[in-house]
């Protein structure tokens, strides 16, 4: 199996050392470089073409979100996972708008870092559970006064929506429901079309509105 090439970007050398130590425990991961600024990250992406960039937000000079925008525009095959201390929806929304494919809190466990890398490599969007709860909670609060009829989903689509809301990957959903990956992807596309949503945050919102996922800590 091919190595998963990762570029690590953070302006604190001790933080980089800690994350590097975690990455080095993962057999498939190859660290192709490290950077301490957004500008340096862009240059290293051009030089090494990593599969995934683990990107800090707050850095001197060019910040991580600006660098993510540039990388997403110039290198469509390179996926960025934001590493952040912030679990608020504002930061997550900005990260997605800039082209990030994942949002991982810095205090995440090793297993979650590995899950995030695997999910983003497969083409899924990954966000830490704490971020999911915060984002959906804010969306529910903002829309509490709205009244609109809920789109009707089939029992199978509700099963899939519930699993998406609980952070399952497409492959995991397919295995649990004994479906093919393509069938799950088709169902997800139909769900998003019926619900009139185009992003993960609003899909999570719909799952919460229907009582399919819990928002408690």
Q: Indicate if 8 and 111 belong to the same structural domain.
A: yes
Residue 135 reports pLDDT greater than 80: no
Q: Does 52 fall in a domain? A: yes
Residue 37: which of 17, 58, 21 has the closest Cα?
58
Q: How many domains is the chain partitioned into structurally?
A: 2
Give 136-153 pLDDT, tens digit per residue. Answer: 666 555 555 555 555 678
Note whether residue 146 is domain-resident: no
Assigned domain for 149 exists? no
Is 111 in the same domain as 160? no
Task: Tell me: do 102 and 27 sit in the same domain.
Answer: yes
Window from 13-17, 52-56, 173-177, 196-200 with minimum mean pLDDT: 196-200
Q: What average pLDDT does the chain have?
A: 84
A 10 A CB-CB count for 37 gives 19
CA 90 to CA 70: how far, in whole Å? 20
CATH number (domain holding residue 205): 1.10.10.10
pLDDT category of residue 61 using cuts at 50, 70 and 90: confident
Q: Most distant CA pair in the chain: distance in Å?
A: 52
Domain of 56? 4-140
Distance CA 129, CA 109 (A): 12
Contact 120, 96 (CB under 8 A): no
The single-letter DSSP state of residue 35 is: E
Q: What is the pLDDT of residues 90-104, one digit of tens each?
A: 677 788 889 999 998
Q: How far is CA 1 from CA 4, 9, 24, 61, 115, in A?
A: 9, 25, 17, 37, 17
**pLDDT value of residue 88:** 64
The pTM (predicted TM-score) of the whole model is 0.67
Q: Select from 140, 166, 201 the last residue of a domain.
A: 140
Q: Check whether residue 107 and residue 42 sit in a common domain.
A: yes
Residues sharing a CB contact under 8 Å with residue 84, sequence separation 6 or more, in sequence order: 56, 57, 91, 95, 103, 104, 105, 106
Length of the chain: 217
Residues 132 and 93 in one domain: yes
Is the domain of 20 the same as that of 123?
yes
Q: What whole-number distance in Å separates Cα of residue 60 and Cα of residue 158?
A: 45
């Amino acid at each position: 199996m091919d190595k998963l090439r990762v570029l690590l970007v953070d302006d604190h050398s001790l933080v980089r050392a800690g994350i590097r130590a975690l990455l080095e425990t993962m057999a498939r991961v190859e660290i192709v470089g490290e950077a301490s600024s957004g500008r340096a990250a862009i240059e290293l992406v051009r030089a090494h073409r990593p599969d995934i960039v683990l990107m800090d937000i707050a850095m001197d000079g060019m910040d991580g979100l600006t660098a993510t925008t540039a990388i997403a525009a110039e290198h469509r095959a390179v996926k960025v996972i934001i590493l952040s201390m912030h679990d608020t929806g504002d930061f997550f929304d900005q990260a997605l708008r800039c082209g990030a494919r994942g949002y991982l809190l810095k205090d995440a466990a090793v297993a979650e870092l590995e899950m995030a890398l695997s999910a983003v490599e497969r083409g899924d969007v990954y966000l830490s559970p704490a971020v999911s709860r915060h984002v959906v909670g804010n969306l529910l609060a903002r829309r509490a006064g709205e009244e609109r009829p809920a789109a009707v989903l089939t029992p199978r689509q509700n099963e899939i929506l519930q699993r998406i809301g609980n952070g399952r990957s497409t492959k995991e959903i397919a295995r649990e429901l004994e479906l093919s990956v393509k069938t799950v992807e088709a169902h997800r596309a139909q769900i998003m079309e019926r619900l009139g949503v185009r992003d993960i945050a609003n899909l999570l919102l719909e799952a919460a509105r229907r009582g399919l996922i819990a928002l408690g800590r």
